[in-house]
Amino acid sequence: MEKRTLGNSGLKISAIAYGNWLTHGSQVEEEAATACVRQALEEGITTFDTADTYANTAAESVLGRALAGERREGLEIFTKVFWPTGPGGHNDHGLSRKHIFESIDGSLRRLGTDYVDLYQAHRYDHETPLEETMLAFADVVRAGKALYIGVSEWRAEEIRAAHELARELRVPLISNQPQYSMLWRVIEEEVVPTSRALGLSQIVWSPIAQGVLTGKYLPGQAPPMGSRATDEKGGADMVKRWLDDDVLERVQRLRPIAEDAGLSLAQLAVAWVLQNDNVAAAIIGASRPEQVTENVKAAGIRLEPAVMAAIDDVLDAVVTTDPGKTVSPRRSELFG
């Protein structure tokens, strides 16, 4: 497994990270989830990403049990805070000092660890002063409950402001976790250049565009039974934006490009995001161990410039690039 350095730090992580959003604690039974985690370890994945909000805290508990007994020093465990947990009370979400302090303790308890390697702000909080949020994160680090801090789905100007405060507080802000794939490239214009300049890496989610880039969804046909597009627990809502016949037809046109490179479509998609030198890791999820085995083969693959150009030629008309698509909702809009 290829290892990459995370941001301007000494922390090395696996280029393929295992994430359990939309799977552990909801879509798949715990036995299957544990099997996927064990397969990830077998394939050399050492980096595991979760969040307190996934399955309303259940995903952290499943991951903690699946990793129990592993050598802690050989793992990099990431989690996040912002979205609502518990009963969804008025302080059960956001990036206030109160919510951050309560959330980190809950996450550590569920994960069965004394610290996380990376603690991430899951969205930007428009209703809490950034100074309050960053000081709380700094105190979490100084308490030894997190080694590094990061953000997720923050805009370039938000990252820049957080980085300035992090420098003043002398805490390591080293990463951003955005959505990024062949189809969704909104970070390229502003977030990636800003992150490069400030010493942050990207840890990207949905590199396969919710499964669309595997080629299993065919134009003019109903989604396969059991696929994410048929999941009523949240998966269908996430994937439906890609289920456009033009998008699906173009994805099928990627198949010969992948075959010429000796890759499956899924492997091509994961390898594509890893060509960006600001990407430290691509997060994959799985409901079956064999999916892990397939996707890890993308690590260390070098795609030739002609291959990258051919992908662009096929997808150009359906790629989303607008940096304004990175949006953190106001808590009052979501939770009242």
Closest CA to 272 of 333, 228, 314, 331: 314
Q: Among candidates 148, 164, 147, which has minimal Cα distance to 156? A: 164
Q: Are the CB atoms for 134 and 166 separated by under 8 Å? A: yes
Distance (Å) of CA 161 to CA 55, 146, 148, 195, 264: 31, 21, 17, 12, 40
User: How far apart, in whole angstroms, are the C-alpha atoms of residue 182 and residue 311?
Assistant: 8
Q: How many CA atoms lie within 13 A of 78 on its CB side?
A: 31
Let me know if 54 is a catalytic residue.
yes
Phi then psi for residue 174, to 5 deg, are -125, 0
DSSP per-residue codes, 205-272: B-TTTTTGGGT-S-TTSPPPTTSGGG-TTTHHHHHGGG--HHHHHHHHHTHHHHHHTT--HHHHHHHH
CA distances from 3 to 17, 47, 163, 276 (A): 10, 10, 25, 15
In one letter, which amino acid is 322? D
Q: How far apart are CA 43 and CA 221, in angstroms?
A: 34
120, two tokens: 């991430």
Residue that has been written with the tokens 């940096």 in this structure: 323
Q: Beta strand pairing status for 146-151 and 173-176?
A: parallel
3-state secondary structure of 156: helix
Catalytic pick from 54, 119, 124, 217? 54
d(CA 41, CA 170): 33
Question: Active-site residues: which are they?
Answer: 54
